[in-house]
Chains A and B, each alone.
Chain A
Amino acid sequence: GAGVSQSPSNKVTEKGKDVELRCDPISGHTALYWYRQRLGQGLEFLIYFQGNSAPDKSGLPSDRFSAERTGESVSTLTIQRTQQEDSAVYLCASSLEAGGAEAFFGQGTRLTVV
């Protein structure tokens, strides 16, 4: 597609429920990132995928968070047993190559846990 696409754009869920967020990167981009942006704060790195290499999960805040990516295509971020502190905008980005390529960001998924 023309850009990074994320769905849903907004998600309201009850505390304790699981949610799944989807990211479609730009075609041909080998690198894919997930970031979290809490209200009034900067971007917090969550996880990074590069081709078929093992993902860098160093930013995942707890074992309730997981992400998958099939090859160089779609990625899903799953949050289990959501908590109110999970409320944030979840941003996905993709980039063409390693070593300083710019990242293209999606519009984000605004998650609200009530």
Chain B
Amino acid sequence: AQSVTQLDSHVSVSEGTPVLLRCNYSSSYSPSLFWYVQHPNKGLQLLLKYTSAATLVKGINGFEAEFKKSETSFHLTKPSAHMSDAAEYFCVVSPYNFNKFYFGSGTKLNVKP
């Protein structure tokens, strides 16, 4: 069975402080993992993806995520939050050779000045 759990529905940080958005997954197959961002009234944009290469993946806008198979986690981090990072973030799993994307329920990131 495939599933994605985003552990926090809302995260609030101050500008300039680190961001951690947590994601755990369950997959019967070797998965590809993605983080997407959705700004208000905008479409979904790919932040980064893991596809069985390096376990630490760097994405756009300074975000990165680390694939930890032993913990079945794919947490998203950024060293220093910017006001423009305020958005909703979705963790997504796509089991290898099984073309369907399973979305987490999303984490809304609020960045305070």
Contact = CB atoms under 8 A, between A and B. Distances in A.
A90 interface: no
A65 interface: no
Interface of A is mostly: strand
Interface of A: 31, 33, 35, 41-43, 45, 48, 50, 56, 91, 93, 95, 98-108
Interface of B: 31-32, 34, 36, 42-46, 49, 51-52, 90, 94, 96-106
19 contacts: A31-B99, A33-B100, A45-B100, A56-B99, A56-B100, A93-B44, A98-B97, A99-B98, A99-B99, A100-B31, A100-B49, A100-B51, A101-B32, A103-B46, A104-B46, A105-B44, A105-B45, A106-B43, A108-B43
By Cβ-Cβ distance, the 5 closest A-B pairs, closest first, are A100-B32, A105-B44, A42-B105, A43-B103, A107-B43
